[in-house]
Amino acid sequence: MDTILGEREKMFVRWGVYILFLLIVFTAVLAAYDVVGRVQSGPTSYRTVSVSVEAKTKAVPDKAYISFSVEGRGDTQAAASRQSTGLFKKLYEVMGVAGVEKEDIYLASSYTSGNSGFPEGDYQDTKNVYVKLEEKDPVKLSQKISQVMKAGEEAGFVPGSGYGSCLTFSDQDGALSAAREEAIVKAKEKAKGIAKAMDKKIGGINSFSENSNFTSYNPTYGGMCAAVPTQDMEIVAQEVAASVSITFDLK
């Protein structure tokens, strides 16, 4: 009986030691996995690099907006509106004679004001109009701009009044494409340099944003303006800039 109990006790001891060993090994593995996991899935700032780069290029404008403002005055709002409407029709006819198609003449806005800086009972009705011109040949575009501006002036209208005139591109995205591509290449090279200093390499793109522009933004024309057109101006290549911000993964 004592021999049997002794053998059993030995067996229990062996199993106890074996189980304890497995627990120690299992705990060590979990601890190691936790350390590795925290390194690999640490804060985002340790696993990515963000860079912002700007590149510039030049493109020749092939589109222009020439704006005019017509104003009617009257003792009543209706009278002021009638006068401005008559002037708008006159401008419409003048532009037609200058060779502008009807669908390229736009009434951008119309508003009436009164009793604010005017004699009592006097009203002013303002209509902002713009004329769209497109021409791939810069010389021909320049001639069209001069023709429209001169025709407007001779009829008593001031070009550039209202929302201001704008020289831009029929394909704005295309005009920026070369600058954008250059900016992306520069961003990648910059990110590689930063990653190398950290003894890492860049991986795929984590995020991308672009803030590209011309000289100014004009919401009336739905986009960017590269320059302000004037009479007899020479249409030359205008500077455009593409600014990109890219976040790369690190590996």
Domain identity same for 67 and 161: yes
* pLDDT tens-digit map of 145-195: 999 999 988 888 877 766 778 889 999 888 889 999 999 999 999 999 999
Q: Can you tell me which residue has the tokens 């001069």?
A: 146
| pTM recorded for the entire structure | 0.69
- The confidence score (pLDDT) of residue 14 equals 64
- Polymer length in residues for the chain: 251
Q: CA–CA separation, 144 vs 198, rounded Å?
A: 57
Q: CA–CA separation, 148 vs 104, rounded Å?
A: 12
Domain identity same for 184 and 227: yes
What average pLDDT does the structure give for the chain?
Answer: 80
* pLDDT tens-digit map of 208-250: 998 876 665 565 666 678 888 888 889 999 888 889 999 999 9
Q: How confident is the model at residue 115 (pLDDT cuts 50, 70, 90)?
A: low
* Mean pLDDT, residues 110-121: 65
* pLDDT tens-digit map of 31-83: 444 433 333 444 555 689 999 999 999 999 999 999 888 888 888 888 888 88
- The Cβ of residue 6 has, within 10 Å, a number of other Cβ atoms equal to 10
- The confidence score (pLDDT) of residue 134 equals 94
- The confidence score (pLDDT) of residue 2 equals 47
Domain identity same for 154 and 102: yes
- The confidence score (pLDDT) of residue 38 equals 39
Number of structural domains (the chain) is 3
Q: Which of 115, 133, 168 is the last residue of a domain?
A: 168
- The confidence score (pLDDT) of residue 226 equals 82
DSSP assignment of 51-97 equals: EEEEEEEEE---EEEEEEEEEEEESSHHHHHHHHHHHHHHHHHHHHH
Domain identity same for 15 and 86: no
- The confidence score (pLDDT) of residue 39 equals 37
Q: CA–CA separation, 190 vs 175, rounded Å?
A: 24
- The confidence score (pLDDT) of residue 204 equals 92
Domain identity same for 191 and 242: yes
* pLDDT tens-digit map of 57-66: 999 999 999 9
Domain identity same for 143 and 93: yes
Domain identity same for 213 and 175: yes
- The confidence score (pLDDT) of residue 112 equals 77
20-24, 112-116, 204-208, 244-248: lowest mean pLDDT where? 20-24
Asked whether 164 and 198 are in contact (CB, 8 A), the reply is no
Domain identity same for 29 and 86: no
Note down the domain range covering 219. Answer: 48-59+171-250
Domain identity same for 14 and 87: no
Task: Look up the CATH number of the domain holding residue 124.
Answer: 3.30.70.2970
Q: How confident is the model at residue 9 (pLDDT cuts 50, 70, 90)?
A: low
Residue closest to 146 by CA, chosen among 78, 242, 231, 31: 231
- The confidence score (pLDDT) of residue 64 equals 92
Q: Which of 168, 184, 201 is the last residue of a domain?
A: 168
